[in-house]
Amino acid sequence: MQVGIKGEKKFTVTKDQLACNVGSGLVSVFATPMMIAAIENTAAGSVAGELEEGKTTVGTLVNVSHVAATPEGMEVRIETELTEIAPNGKMLTFKVAAYDEAGLIGEGTHQRAIVAKERFEQKAQSKLSK
């Protein structure tokens, strides 16, 4: 894996992605949590093919501003770029941005950790037995 890997995802904002329908506000515009989910999905997808078998990435930090509202029916484009790989090779930092047809709607950084999927899930499930 190398710094510089880019990801891009385009989609049209639907009714189920509006703030008033996801519990993040009362307005009928693209919800911040949905923008963040799209950013995470795009970043994860951009590096998925570079991971060893049995490995995946999990989000650990999102530092993103949501600077403009997007109505239902408008296209959104998410762009991510891997800008840093920690010396231990396990933490990935991405520069991220979101745009609608009128321009920039969000930007910032996102970090993901490389984990062994099965072990990670087992550790989470073990909390149920405590």
Which residue in the list 8, 12, 14, 40 is annotated as catalytic? Answer: 40
d(CA 111, CA 92): 5
Structure tokens that stand for 90 in this block? 């396990």
Whether 32 is catalytic is yes
Is position 59 annotated in a ligand binding site?
yes
Which residue in the list 8, 12, 14, 32 is annotated as catalytic? Answer: 32
Which residue in the list 42, 50, 57, 66 is annotated as catalytic? Answer: 66
Cα distances from 49 to residues 11, 22, 55, in angstroms, run 22, 31, 10
Whether 66 is catalytic is yes
- Spatial contact of 77 and 13, defined as CB atoms under 8 Å apart: no
Structure tokens that stand for 84 in this block? 């840093």
Is position 112 annotated in a ligand binding site?
yes
d(CA 14, CA 56): 28
Structure tokens that stand for 119 in this block? 């072990």
Q: Which residues are annotated as a binding site?
A: 59, 112
Residues within the annotated binding site for CoA?
Answer: 59
Q: Which residues are catalytic?
A: 32, 40, 66
